[in-house]
Structure 1
């Protein structure tokens, strides 16, 4: 097996665990929404059962207030899960980038040294990597089933998680690139400023030396 195949397996494992983490987040999100809906339905049932004691306006107000509170709760669930999803996106982006960098540097060193260390490493590591990949796949499948059960309705859990993970990872990648670009620009400006200061200092020293030579 080649190093490229080994890095591909590592990247796939990272993505699979990212989907699993997203499924856990979705379980909390969909489960929270379902639970809040059950509470709303139960509250409305209780209020409507007391129709003889409560007029229609009071019942409507009570139900509307309950639904308003439920809306706040749902917004809180969405806010928390969205933040957690962004964290997963950053983690997957950094881990994937790390695998790519390590693989590229290892291949470059291997070619420069004219050795076959990567092929040897791949032969040794690949069987374990495949086992880890299969385990990750089984965990992801279980988490997808959990999402379906918690949501209480049939849904393409893996497709939903994959779409959310890709969106979060793309956003994380864009943010990382902006940060790197800004940092690179700051470093370049600092280097240019230092070089200018050194050049100016050198010219001042040269002028002083020249003036001293003339005076002598």
Structure 2
């Protein structure tokens, strides 16, 4: 199997798992599980899975010295806030609508990157941001029910803003650590 085929399979599996997790989280919340508990459990399991993969590959399970606390705090403060806001938004709107609003973050990243001088405008980047918005809109259009209240809108867009900041600063604050090690520690930060 080629590395391209493996990458496509892993990408498809990831998309399927993420979609399933969002629906499962919504069901947990509807059953009365506190948002923070549901999010914490999800990311604790995710962090443990990352550690298991790292151990199986015989790779370092921790970010490099000097970046460990930053990875944990990025999870606890930024990514954790993003996750909690997203799942709180699910209490105020449908999964499709919350997802539509959340998946505006690629466009937010493009706008922020342009404003901060981190990248130059290109039609490819603009088209990618447009496609992310169109893709999110298709999720809503294909759903049976679309609805959200103003609090849900604010929570979902707030979640998109937090993930935008996380993605913009992650690599700058953790330039030396392997991505999977960082993912584990960020996940444990969210779980905390």
User: TM-score scaled by structure 1?
Assistant: 0.27
More helix by share: 1
Structure whose alpha-carbon radius of gyration is higher? 1
User: TM-score scaled by structure 2?
Assistant: 0.29
